Amino acid sequence: MSLIFSHYNYWVVIALMMIGFFVVIAQGNLVKKLVGLNIFQTSVFILYISVGKVSGGSAPILSDSVTAYSNPLPHVLILTAIVVGIATTALGLALVIRIKKAYGTVEEPEIQQQDHSC
């Protein structure tokens, strides 16, 4: 029982992660794939940040009135990862726009069909 209470936070995150992962691999629309990828990544961020939380701690900005801080390291890592995520999204969307121009569609099955027929 205690296992459930102490870990449920992680499990919710995993559920979110898997929803995102499912969207990435199962959906045919390219924009939606990128949205799924976004959810997948954001959930991983939440996982990291959850690791950094210390019960009773406060935000890691030094102050005389505070005795316990949450762990700053995961925050730093995730700041970097968020930036990486938006960079990937931007590049992905740019590719989607070009694909639309070249193929006239952004649905995976239709693109593959066109590639096979020519």
Partner 1 sequence: MLNHLPILQVIVPLLGAPACLILGRAKLAWVFALLVSTAAFLISCQLLSEVYAQGPLSYELGGWAAPWGIEYRIDLLNGWLLFIVSLSSTVSLVAAQTSISNEIPGEKQLFFYVAWLLCLAGLLGILATGDAFNVFVFLEVSSLSTYTLISLGKQRQALWSAFRYLIMGTIGATFILIGIGFMYMMTGTLNMADLSERLPAASSSYTVFAAYAFVVVGIGLKLAMFPLHFWLPNAYTFAPSIVTAFLAASSTKVAIYLLIRFTYSVFDSDLRSAGLPLPEILIALGMIAVFAGSTVAIYQSNIKRAIAYSSVGQIGYMIVGLGIGGLLGLQATLLHLFNHALMKAALFLSLAAMAFRLGSTQLKDLYGLGQRMPITAFSFVVGGLSLIGVPLTVGFISKWYLVSAAVADGRWPLALLVVLGSLLAIAYIWRVVEAMYFKPSEEGSPKGEAPLMMLLPLWVLIAANLYFGIDTRIPLAITADAARSLLEVVQ
Partner 2 sequence: MATAIGIVLSRDLLAVVMLTGIYGFLSASFFVLMDAVDVAFTEAAVGSGISPLLMLLTIALVGRYEAVPAANKALPALILVVITGALLIMGTLDMPAFGDANAPAHTHVAPRYIEVSGEEIGIPNIVTSVLASYRGFDTFGEVLVIFTAGVGVLSLLTLRPLPANPSVDGAHGHRVLRIVSKILIPPILIFALYVQFHGDYGPGGGFQAGVIFAAAIILYTMFFGVDLARRVVSSSVLRILAATGALLYGSVGVVSMLNGGNFLDYSVLAESATAGQHIGIIVIELGVGITVAAVMMLIFYCFVSQVRPAPEGEK
Please, which of residues 58-97 interact with partner 1 by CB under 8 A?
A: 73-74, 77, 80-81, 84, 87-88, 91-92, 95-96
By CB under 8 A, name the one of 12, 102, 113, 114 that touches partner 2. Answer: 12
Cβ contacts of 30-33, under 8 Å, gap ≥ 24: 30/96, 30/99, 30/106, 30/107, 30/108, 31/93, 31/96, 31/106, 33/108
The helix-helix angle for 30-52 and 2-26 (nearest 10°) equals: 160
Residues 17-56 that bind partner 2 (CB under 8 A): 17-23, 25-32, 34-36, 38-39, 42, 45-46, 49-56
Residue at token pair 């924009």: 31
Instruction: Report the interface residues with partner 1, using CB under 8 A.
Output: 21, 24, 30, 33, 37, 40-41, 44, 47-48, 51, 73-74, 77, 80-81, 84, 87-88, 91-92, 95-96, 98-99, 102-103, 111, 115
